Amino acid sequence: MAHGLWSYHLLGRRSRTWPAVAVGIAPDIFAFGPYVVERIPRGNPLTANPPLHSIPEYVFRLYDISHSLVVAALVLGVVYLLTGRLPLWTIAWPLHVLLDVPTHTLSFFPTPFLWPLSPVRVNGVSWSAPWFLASNYAALLAITVISILRSRKRGIQSGTARLDA
């Protein structure tokens, strides 16, 4: 969810909102979505940090693909070659990867940002550490509140604000 919110705040308000949010969460949906869907019929809920041995190998391969800046650059390069443009919202994919690099530890899905060129990974802070989770969502909440207040102020200054809103 945080990736979608960061994509919205950093890209979506300057370009197309929903594509930015969708592309911002797409790397995780691509990697973990099939696994989650596979577990639904079994009534087997997915925990936030399941034991690594319980996760099928294909999830790790999909994660390598979707969390690689190399793959993202290749795909976005093809998009540019085919369309002659690269919409701002497409940058949400590499943004997702860049946000994951320092927020994943080596012990649980370290981000393979240079895959397949290099196996290098960064031992960051876990995104699920309570202090980080709280500070991440507090920052997102603060940005949201500031955005709403600025939006209202612009509406008042332009005379378009509604008093009954």
Do 158 and 92 fall within a single domain?
no
Rounded to two decimals, the pTM is: 0.85
Tokens encoding 117: 């060129």
Tell me, yes or no, whether 163 and 91 share the same domain. Answer: no
Q: Cβ of 139: how many Cβ atoms within 10 Å? A: 14
Q: What is the mean pLDDT of residues 110-137?
A: 96
Distance separating alpha carbons of residues 151 and 9, to the nearest angstrom: 13
Q: What is the pLDDT of residues 21-54, one digit of tens each?
A: 999 999 999 999 999 888 888 777 666 677 899 8
**pLDDT of amino acid 26:** 98
Question: Do 80 and 149 share a domain, yes or no?
Answer: no
User: How many structural domains is the chain composed of?
Assistant: 2
Question: What is the distance between the alpha carbons of residues 4 and 25, in angstroms, rounded to a whole number?
Answer: 5
CA pair distance 9, 7, nearest whole angstrom: 6
> What average pLDDT is seen over the chain?
89
Query: Residue 138 is part of which domain span?
Result: 129-165
Say if CB 75 and CB 126 are below 8 A apart.
no
147 shares a domain with 105: no
Q: Is the pLDDT of residue 127 over 70?
A: yes
Same domain assignment for residues 54 and 20: yes
Whether residues 96 and 18 fall in one domain:
yes
102 and 138: one domain? Answer: no
Same domain for 138 and 98: no
Query: Is the pLDDT confidence value at 155 over 70?
Result: no
Does residue 95 share a domain with residue 81?
yes
Q: Are residues 24 and 51 in the same domain?
A: yes
Mean pLDDT of 142-148: 90
- C-beta of residue 101 within 8 angstroms of C-beta of residue 124: yes
User: In 3D, which of 92, 41, 35 has the Cα closest to residue 60?
Assistant: 35
What are the structure tokens assigned to 136, written together? 């991440």
DSSP states of 60-118: HHHHHHHT-HHHHHHHHHHHHHHHS---GGGGHHHHHHHHHGGG--TTS----TTTTT-
Same domain, 58 and 35: yes
